[in-house]
Structure 1
Amino acid sequence: MGKVRVVTDSTSDIPKSLVEELNIAVVPLKVLFGEQETYEDGVTIQAKEFYENLATSDVIPSTSQPSPYQFEEVYKEIDTEDQGCDIISIHISSKLSGTFQSAVIASDVVKETINVTVVDSKRAAYSCGMIVTEIAKLAKQGATKEQCLSRLNELLKDTTIYFMVDTLEFLQKNGRIGKASAVLGSLLKIKPILSLNEDGEVYPVDKVRGQKKALAKIYDYLEKDYGNQPIIVGVIHANTIELATEIMTEMRSRFNISSEVFTDIGPVIGAHVGPGAIGITVTLAK
């Protein structure tokens, strides 16, 4: 029975304790503050430091994907450690980043000697990370590649994310919404409830005035989606742990939670959504 190893990228925002426990290989993206400061997401800059830098920086940071060579090196390193293992490489939506394409190119380079299956999660942040984590748990239990891919298909179908941003400035400056919409939304204190569609693109689910009303809407959506079925929950936040804690408390009171994770929105995703963003990601437990 062949061993399975799981690879992802740093935008999955998986807590380091889980990365280590489940032996997940994480390929970092980069965050750039202007032309002078370049950091590797989760390696040379962590979430706390990123949001501190963001608060004092005069520039909106930009991001860049890993090169195919970075993925190639990771695949080769895994093959050296576990010769003959199957690699499942799961990544941020191809509609949001070129990371998936870099992984595909690398897998093609090594295909003669290393068996790599590259998957577009069509998700971002911990909605991708949750999928990665569940597959890595199966792999650790000794599941075959076929068993892992079967569960992966279920997770891709069942995993949902709803998120909100505290300010529309970052989405506007990164080209996700127009300037007029950002200014008007900020003036009216409108909180767009955002999600990812089946193609992996960000879209507005609803527009609500005020955070409490927006959260109430999200809980309603999740109740409609999942009812009383056992679920896995991830609450993700960009430097807003108190709100994240309140949300998890509310989720516990409303839903049949099998397991739960708190995690930071890391530097790369944080560069696009800004501080104060909050998200809830859910999938069916098995």
Structure 2
Amino acid sequence: MGKIAVVTDSNSGITQKEAKEYGVNVLPMPFFINGETYFEDIDLTQEQFYEKLEGNAEISTSMPAVGSVTDLWDKLLEEYEEIVHIPMSSGLSSSCETAFVLAHEYEGKVQVVDNQRISVTQKQSVLDAVELVKQGKNAEEIKKYLEETKFDSSIYIMVDTLAYLKKGGRITPAAAALGTLLKLKPVLQIQGEKLDAFAKARTVKQAKNIMIDAVKNDFTKRFGDEAGENMHLYIAYTKDRETALDFKSQVEEAFPKGEVTMVDPLSLSVACHIGPGSLALACAKKLPTV
């Protein structure tokens, strides 16, 4: 790849196999499941995770150990001059803040990017960084671009069951009981640093339309690109890929000039809080062509 290495974590949804294809390095996120430690996409597959989640296992997320981060950086700096490190949003995990502290010891050779993204939009930042390396940008310039454009993205997520939001303390038991009774499908939003409530739907069909309308609104009002010609569109999901592929057809119909560039599973750290059966529609501005 040249003189700059690109590093991210598995919250980006980039698998170890894809990492080799893209020429990037992915730190696996650790999970504590019933007291044992597992690493995403190393000894914990998506299938195994959902089996444990639906089996009511006690699951908590953590962040990569300091040693695993610095060991990777040290190894890469034997071969590369600089590193661009793109962790998940600082608003969703302390791993970004930890990386900033660690990078102080590396005299500017490691540029930590807080571009406040996760999942498919974080993955896009990694792919943009790879492209910027090819364009001859240095690590500091890449960090600057990714942080300046960090809010040029949105994720809308339909949650199929309220059980996991309740379990994680994100909603009260009373709200969960009422929502279940009314068969609500909440739509959440990640725009920048946190996961927020966005809308309530009564059916999956209504939730899909809410997400499509929200992205249309973003295209017009936030990005000034009504047709979405300069935007990436992404579908993400938890467990149910078939529903995601069906939704892709609906999204392509709604955005005839747009392009769905990814249909990916949501990272396990997000899935932990929202459970299986969730569906997401996301977008991000395309890297300007040189």
TM-score (norm 1): 0.89
> Which amino acid counterpart does residue 41 of structure 1 have in structure 2?
E
Query: Aligned pair 1:53/2:52, yes or no?
Result: yes
**1:269 Cα offset (Å):** 2.3
Q: 1:244·1:278 contact (CA, 8 Å) conserved in 2?
A: yes
> Which amino acid counterpart does residue 260 of structure 1 have in structure 2?
T
Moved more, 141-150 or 153-162: 141-150
SS in 2 for 1:131: helix
Q: 1:31·1:61 contact (CA, 8 Å) conserved in 2?
A: yes
Deviations 1:187-206 (A, max 9, x none): 111111111244x1111111
> Which amino acid counterpart does residue 241 of structure 2 have in structure 1?
I
Q: Aligned equivalents of 1:11 and 1:78: distance in 2? A: 21
What pairs with 1:12-161 in structure 2 (closer than 5 Å)? 12-35=12-35, 37-55=36-54, 57-82=55-80, 84=81, 86-109=82-105, 111-112=106-107, 115-161=109-155
Q: Aligned equivalents of 1:211 and 1:283: distance in 2? A: 24
Per the alignment, residue 239 of structure 1 pairs with 239
Moved more, 233-242 or 15-24: 15-24
Q: Aligned equivalents of 1:95 and 1:146: distance in 2? A: 22
Instruction: Note closer, same or farther for the CA distance 1:258–1:211 as it changes in structure 2 (3 Å cut).
Output: closer
Q: Aligned equivalents of 2:248 and 2:149: distance in 1? A: 21
SS in 1 for 2:23: coil
Q: Aligned equivalents of 1:275 and 1:218: distance in 2? A: 18
Per the alignment, residue 269 of structure 1 pairs with 270
Deviations 1:40-60 (A, max 9, x none): 0121112122112323x2324
> Which amino acid counterpart does residue 262 of structure 2 have in structure 1?
V
Count of residue correspondences: 278
Task: Name structure 1 gaps, 5 residues minimum.
Answer: none
SS in 1 for 2:150: helix
Q: 2:238·2:276 contact (CA, 8 Å) conserved in 1?
A: yes
Per the alignment, residue 164 of structure 1 pairs with 158
Identity score, percent: 29
Q: 1:66·1:102 contact (CA, 8 Å) conserved in 2?
A: no
> Which amino acid counterpart does residue 275 of structure 1 have in structure 2?
P
**1:123 Cα offset (Å):** 2.3
Q: 2:157·2:279 contact (CA, 8 Å) conserved in 1?
A: yes
**1:245 Cα offset (Å):** 0.3
TM-score (norm 2): 0.88
Deviations 1:93-137 (A, max 9, x none): 22221211221222123x23x611112232222222222222223
Deviations 1:2-36 (A, max 9, x none): 8322111111112555422221211121112211x
SS in 2 for 1:81: coil
**1:146 Cα offset (Å):** 4.9
Q: 1:131·1:155 contact (CA, 8 Å) conserved in 2?
A: no
Q: 2:235·2:260 contact (CA, 8 Å) conserved in 1?
A: no
Give the CA RMSD over aligned residues: 2.0
Instruction: Note closer, same or farther for the CA distance 1:75–1:13 as it changes in structure 2 (3 Å cut).
Output: same
Q: 2:111·2:143 contact (CA, 8 Å) conserved in 1?
A: no
**1:259 Cα offset (Å):** 5.5
> Which amino acid counterpart does residue 234 of structure 1 have in structure 2?
Y
Per the alignment, residue 186 of structure 2 pairs with 192
Q: Aligned equivalents of 2:212 and 2:71: distance in 1? A: 42
> Which amino acid counterpart does residue 217 of structure 2 have in structure 1?
K
SS in 2 for 1:157: coil
Structure 1 stretches of 4+ with a deviation exceeding 6 A read none
> Which amino acid counterpart does residue 33 of structure 1 have in structure 2?
I
Q: 1:170·1:271 contact (CA, 8 Å) conserved in 2?
A: yes
